Structures are given as structure tokens and as C-alpha cells.
Amino acid sequence: MPLLPKTPSPSRRTLLRGLGGSAALGALGTLAGCGVPAAYVAPGDRAATDRSATERRLTWANWPLYIDTDDRHPSRRPTLEAFEKETGLSVDYIEEINDNDEFFGKISPSLMNHQPTDRDLIVISDWMCGRFVRLGWVQEMDRSRQPNVAKYLDPLLRSPAFDPGRKFTVPWQSGITGIAYNRRRLGREIRHVSDLWAADLKGRVTLLSGMDEAFALLMQGNGVDITDWKTDDFHRICDQVEKQVAKGQIRRFTGNDYIKDLSSGDVLACQAYSGDVIQLQADDPDIEFVVPEEGAELWAESLMIPDLARHKANAERLIDHYYRPEVAAELAAWVNYVCPVPAARDVLASSDDEETAALAEDPLIFPDAAMRERLAIARDISAGERTEFAKRWNGIVGV
């Protein structure tokens, strides 16, 4: 397998997920008040006649920069073209998702009105996937058509609270929200969430501005089991963050722009995403990413088949293609996120290319055993909690 070039961090990581979630819920409430039929779709109303056998195609909506491309011909996607050649299926691949909330607004009118979205496969963040699952807007997948998913899906990702057993969703790529810091400039290690509040970091720390992105890691610093956190746990975190803001400990709250602050040295430590840090380390090896001893959040962006999709079997077949270890390895070498197929590690390790083989040893792509023990998927913020929590968090962030 040739070494694939690293791409810039996808813009989807810049969104303020807490704000987006509140807006989406507000939109649903407004529509319901205007006489729009109830949003929930019962299981018996989710499927359309599957045309997969006669229409050898499907439509797939994804985020920009989230699939491998050919180095010489950027419009070509090798793993996708291999699927088309092998199966004879044609894939209309659309890079139209730039924000979870924006995409929700684009397709929710069709879904709540029991109309097709004209998409057979979509990729959105797991916190938004949870909303789709609760509303009945996605179809249960047929695992008999997905033997690779059944065999190779990472056990850590198999049963999130919003979709036990992963019946409706399959991770596309995964990642970790942890702490990044410049070890040379700081002159010491960071091992705990509480290290962010040390005196020598005053005014040189940033936190993520999105509520869904920020709270879990901070809770873990308090020893909270984020798979089953309570309302009091959230408000305790808010109290602590307010105190640090008042002290001047926190420089600001950021989206993806923490990268610039960390690179320039204006910030010495920050909440960060594992995929971003891999790319930062290529330019500055002094930047380190740490999963605190108390733990860190494991997240994913997942594939789903929306209601009334006309090519369900074709979509299921495409998903399973990406769970072949050799295909997952090729994709992982390009996007550099946590690979949801651990078996891809051996494929990369066997590469004749030294740099490609080295990716198999990167714990930010294939977390080692010690790191895996400290990773957890946070339970989602429920619809009933979101308005209250977003109001308090956004007040602290200053939105």
C-alpha cells in the first residue's frame, strides 16, 4: 500500500454542536406548533420498495475531505472506485454535509413528512445520529448483508447508548477528545484534566466551545462515568468552568481554531481532537496528545440509511466494503482518524513503505490497550435536557 498524503482537518469539526443541537430542536418544536404531523416515524413506515436489484446505484452524502483521493487526480476516490468496479454499482458521492444542524434542516422536512430524501446513505456525528434514531428517521440494517461489519467493528464502538447493538448506525471514522499541549514550551507533562488549572497555564488554556464536545472530558476529570452521567454532574462542571473563567485561567473557547493558538504558542494546552493533533505533529513534534488518566471521550461519525431510501441493499453492501481490513487501512492512511476496524492495523504494519507501516503504531489511529481502557462513549444529551444545558453552557462561553 503506497503512503497516502495527509489532508487538512475537515471543516465539520469546527461546528458548535451544542448550539446546533438547540437550534434543531427549536425548529422541530416550531414546525409541530404549525400543524406539521408528529415527527416520529413508526417502524412499519420507514421502508420503501428496494430497487437495488434493478437500479444498480446509490446516492451517498458525506462531509468534505473525508475519503481517500488520488494524489495525481484529486477528483478520483480509489476505495470507492474499487467498489464500483467490483460490484458494478454506481455511487453518486456528494460532499454536501458541512454542519450537522444545517444538514438536519435540509432533510428533516422530508423525513418528518414521510417523504424520501433522495439519499441512500448519510454520515453525521453520533450525537445527531441519536436524534435520528429516536425519531425513527433511519432504517435498521440487515447484518446478513454485512459480514465484515459484524466481524471487524471495534468492540469499543459496538453498542453506544443511543443505538444499542448498532442496529441503525455504523461508524465511518472515530476520534478522541483529549488534551493537546506543547511539552517543550510547557516544560513538563500533562497527565490529568486538573493539570489544565495549574498556575503556570493561566491565560494559556482553551476549551472547546461546543457543549457536546467539551463536557464529557471535563466530567471524566471529576471521576464521572460518562456513559451514565447525571444532571448534577453537568452543573458541577459548569460551576468549575465559571470559576476558571473568573480567574483568567481560560484564554478563550474555540472551535477548530485552537490549532492556530497551539501552533503559535499563544496557548500551551487545550482540549483537542486526536485527528488534528496527528497533523500538527507532522510540523511540530513537540505537540503531544494525551488521554488523561481519568479517561477521554471516544466519538464517531456514522453511516445511516434514511427512511424511504430506494437502494437500501446497495447501501448496506457499500458499508460492508469499507469494513474489509484492507479497505479500512487504505482509508485510515489517508484521513488519519481513529480507525473503527482494528484489523486494519496489521494491513498497514505489513506495508513495504516505512512511513505507511509506521501508521500502524500510532495510538491516535489504533489506540493501544492501555489507552483503550480509558476511552468511553458519553451518553447523549436528551431532548429534555438540551435546552436547559445549552442555555447555561452558552452563557459561560459567551455566545
Residue ranges of E strands in the chain? 57-62, 90-95, 121-125, 170-182, 205-208, 250-254, 269-273, 287-290, 296-304, 375-376
283 SS3 class: helix
pLDDT greater than 80 at residue 23: no
Of 233 and 24, which is predicted with more confidence? Answer: 233
pLDDT of residue 364: 94
What's the mean pLDDT when you consider all of the chain? Answer: 90
pLDDT of residue 71: 85
Q: Report pLDDT digits (tens) over 293-330.
A: 999 999 999 999 999 999 999 999 999 999 999 999 99
> Domain 43-174+299-361's class?
alpha beta
| Domain pair 43-174+299-361 / 175-298+379-397, same fold | yes
Single pTM value for the model: 0.87
pLDDT of residue 28: 53
Q: How far apart are CA 71 and CA 244, in angstroms?
A: 46
pLDDT of residue 31: 46
Q: How far apart are CA 120 and CA 314, in angstroms?
A: 8
Mean pLDDT of 184-210: 96
Q: Report pLDDT digits (tens) over 375-393.
A: 999 998 988 899 999 999 9
pLDDT greater than 70 at residue 19: no
**Residue 263: how many CB atoms within 10 A of its CB?**
14
What's the fold here for domain 175-298+379-397?
D-Maltodextrin-Binding Protein; domain 2 (3.40.190)
Q: Identify whether the C-beta of residue 100 lies closer than 8 Å to the C-beta of residue 20.
A: yes
pLDDT of residue 399: 67
Query: In terms of C-beta distances under 8 Å and separation of at least 24 residues, what long-range contacts does 28-36 make, across chains too?
Result: 28/108, 28/112, 31/109, 31/112, 36/112, 36/113
pLDDT of residue 382: 87
Q: Report pLDDT digits (tens) over 326-379.
A: 999 999 999 999 999 999 999 999 999 999 999 999 999 999 999 999 999 999
pLDDT greater than 50 at residue 7: no
Mean pLDDT of 84-88: 98
pLDDT of residue 255: 85
Beta bridge partners of 176: 298
Q: What is the DSSP string of 95-150?
A: E--S-HHHHHHHHHHHHHTT---S-SEEEEEHHHHHHHHHHT-BPPP-GGG-HHHH
Domain spans of the chain? Answer: 43-174+299-361, 175-298+379-397
196 band by pLDDT with thresholds 50, 70 and 90: very high
Read off the C-alpha cell for 149.
461489519
pLDDT of residue 38: 59
- Compute and round to an integer the Cα radius of gyration of the chain: 21
Residue in 72, 82, 397 with CA at minimum distance from that of residue 254: 397
26 band by pLDDT with thresholds 50, 70 and 90: very low
* Total length of the chain: 399
pLDDT of residue 21: 43
Would you give the distance in Å from CA 7 to the centre of its chain?
17
